[in-house]
């Protein structure tokens, strides 16, 4: 592993999403004797209850294996009258930006709070003062989809470097699951191997990337959250901007449609099985 070989080893920061991939990344590091220096969880106050319930479980395991505890970071408003993504959507009568094909929701509520924390974290300040970089470990697995995400992230980093962005001299991004050839299935095996239960898929419960079947599942398991999503969608549709470039929280479909059309969940499942 070349990125960790420098002496002294650069500070290693894990972006922990409390999902399957990033949990497997922590397990894989442990099994290879690599201890991160900082484990950051960006809480947009919108994870599913199962994800929050997993935090004490993984925290206990981290303590057992001698890893640092999870540091939770959050969006901190300067002037905005909201502190959560759901609050922002309600205040602005809109939907998370992903519903419009943009990514500012994850940048503002997940990436920036982590950046802000690292920027005042002493080991990072010391490394930068000594002309060294901080390593940021990202839990993309070795499957096709995450390899595409990685390629996109690499292009963005390259673009920043060409533009002379200061991050280019501050961070190296490391994708351990891809380096070690660990796909989604192996992630599941790794987590089970150390006796941990499997975490649920982590994402905001109203994430526009959710499949119809996942929304139906939310409706059945957490009806109050499902109805909050419907309320968010209705408010955006009837609000001052309306919904012109998107149908709703599903982008090409709305959660409201799902209220009476359970069969769509089956269609969704069948679609995912197509070769
Ligand atoms: S999980 Fe989805 S809605 Fe939440 S910040 Fe990320 S992209 Fe946006």
What is the tens place of the pLDDT at every residue in 181-231?
999 999 999 999 999 999 999 999 999 999 999 999 999 999 999 999 999
Q: Is 44 in the pocket of ligand 1 (CB under 6 A)?
A: yes
Cα(207) to ligand 1 centroid in Å equals 5
Same domain, 129 and 223: no
Nearest CA to ligand 1 atom 5: 106
Q: Which domain holds residue 6?
A: 2-193
Q: Which of 193, 220, 242 is the last residue of a domain?
A: 193
Q: By percentage, how much of the chain surpasses pLDDT 90?
A: 79
Q: Is the pLDDT of residue 1 over 80?
A: no
Cα(105) to ligand 1 centroid in Å equals 6
Q: What is the rounded distance in angstroms from the CA atom of residue 10 to the CA atom of residue 136?
A: 10
Residue 228 — φ and ψ, nearest 5°?
-65, -35
Mean pLDDT of 110-136: 96
Q: Is the pLDDT of residue 263 over 70?
A: no
How much is the pTM? Answer: 0.90
State residue 220's pLDDT score: 92
Residues 44 and 85: beta-carbon distance below 8 Å: yes
Q: Is 48 in the pocket of ligand 1 (CB under 6 A)?
A: no
**Helix, strand, or coil here: 90?**
helix
- 199 in a domain, yes or no? no
Please state the domain count of the chain: 2
Same domain, 33 and 168: yes
Q: What is the rounded distance in angstroms from the CA atom of residue 260 to the CA atom of residue 271?
A: 20
Reported as a pLDDT band with limits 50, 70 and 90, residue 275 is low
Contacts of 113 (CB under 8 A, 6+ apart): 42, 73, 74, 75, 76
CB atoms within 10 A of CB 138: 21
Q: How far is the CA of 12 from the CAs of 6, 8, 35, 50, 74, in angstroms? A: 12, 12, 8, 27, 20
Q: Is the pLDDT of residue 268 over 70?
A: no
Mean pLDDT of 8-14: 94
Work out which ligand 1 atom sits closest to the CA atom of 103: 7
Looking at residue 142, what DSSP letter applies?
A: S
């Amino acid at each position: 592993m070349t990125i960790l070989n420098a002496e002294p080893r650069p500070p290693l920061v894990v972006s922990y999403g409390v999902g399957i991939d990033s949990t497997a990344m922590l397990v894989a590091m442990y099994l290879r004797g690599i201890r991160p220096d900082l484990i950051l969880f960006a809480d947009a106050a919108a994870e599913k209850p199962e994800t929050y319930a997993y935090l004490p479980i993984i925290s206990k395991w981290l303590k057992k294996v001698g890893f640092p505890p999870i540091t939770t970071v959050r969006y901190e408003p300067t002037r905005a009258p909201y502190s959560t993504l759901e609050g922002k959507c309600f205040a602005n009568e809109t939907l998370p930006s992903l519903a419009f094909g943009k990514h500012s929701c994850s940048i503002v509520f997940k990436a920036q709070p982590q950046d802000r924390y690292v920027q005042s974290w002493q080991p990072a300040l010391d490394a930068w003062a000594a002309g060294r970089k901080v390593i940021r470990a990202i839990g993309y697995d070795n499957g096709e989809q995450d390899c595409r995400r990685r390629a996109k992230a690499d292009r963005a980093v390259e673009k920043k470097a060409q533009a002379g962005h200061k991050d280019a001299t501050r961070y190296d991004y490391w994708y351990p699951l891809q380096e070690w050839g660990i796909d989604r299935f192996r992630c599941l095996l790794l987590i089970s191997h150390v006796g941990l239960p499997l975490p649920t898929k982590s994402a905001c419960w109203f994430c526009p990337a959710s499949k119809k079947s996942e929304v139906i599942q939310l409706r059945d398991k957490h009806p109050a959250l499902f109805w909050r999503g419907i309320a968010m969608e209705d408010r955006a549709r009837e609000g001052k901007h309306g919904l012109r470039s998107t149908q709703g929280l599903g982008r090409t479909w709305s959660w409201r449609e799902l209220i009476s059309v359970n069969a769509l969940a089956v269609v969704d499942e069948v679609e995912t099985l197509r070769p």
